[in-house]
Amino acid sequence: MKKIVIIGASSGIGMRVATDFARLGWRVGIAARREELLKTIKDQYPDRIEYMGLDVTAPDAVERFYKLIEMIDGMDILLYAAGCGWYNPELRLTDDIRAVAVNVAGFTSIVNAAYRYYKETANVHRGRIAVITSVAGVKGIGISAAYSASKRYQWTYLQALDQLAHQQHVNVGITDIRPGFVRTDLIKDDPHDLPMVMSLDYVAPRIERAILLGRRIATIDSRWAVVTGLWRLVPPCLWKHIGLDL
Ligand SMILES: NC(=O)c1ccc[n+]([C@@H]2O[C@H](COP(=O)([O-])OP(=O)(O)OC[C@H]3O[C@@H](n4cnc5c(N)ncnc54)[C@H](OP(=O)(O)O)[C@@H]3O)[C@@H](O)[C@H]2O)c1
- Indicate the domain borders of the chain: 3-239
Q: What is the pLDDT of residues 156-205, one digit of tens each?
A: 999 999 999 999 999 999 999 999 999 999 988 877 788 899 999 999 99
Looking at the whole model, is its pTM more than 0.95? Answer: yes
* Residue range 146-154: mean pLDDT, rounded: 98
Cα dihedral: 65, 66, 69, 74 (round 10):
140
* Residue range 45-54: mean pLDDT, rounded: 98
Mutate to test the pocket of ligand 1, among 5, 6, 7, 11 (most ligand atoms within 8 A of CB): 11
Q: Give the architecture-level CATH label for domain 3-239.
A: 3-Layer(aba) Sandwich (3.40)
Do 82 and 114 form a contact (C-beta atoms < 8 A)? Answer: no
Ligand 1 midpoint to CA 81 (Å): 6
In ligand 1, the atom with minimum distance to the C-alpha of 102 is 31
**Pairwise CA distance, residues 238 & 152, whole Å:** 20
Q: Could you tell me if the CB of 187 is within 6 A of ligand 1?
A: yes
Q: Could you tell me if the CB of 185 is within 6 A of ligand 1?
A: yes
The predicted pLDDT at position 138 comes to: 96
pLDDT at 245 over 90: no
Do 39 and 62 form a contact (C-beta atoms < 8 A)? Answer: no
Mutate to test the pocket of ligand 1, among 84, 177, 193, 198 (most ligand atoms within 8 A of CB): 84
CB within 8 A of 76, min separation 6: which ones? 2, 3, 4, 125, 127, 128
Ligand 1, atom 16: closest residue by C-alpha: 12
pLDDT band at 244 (very low <50, low <70, confident <90, very high): low
User: 172-179 and 127-132 as β-strands: parallel, antiparallel, unpaired?
Assistant: parallel
User: What one-character-per-residue DSSP string does 135-180 give?
Assistant: GGGGS--GGGHHHHHHHHHHHHHHHHHHHHHHHHT--EEEEEEEE-
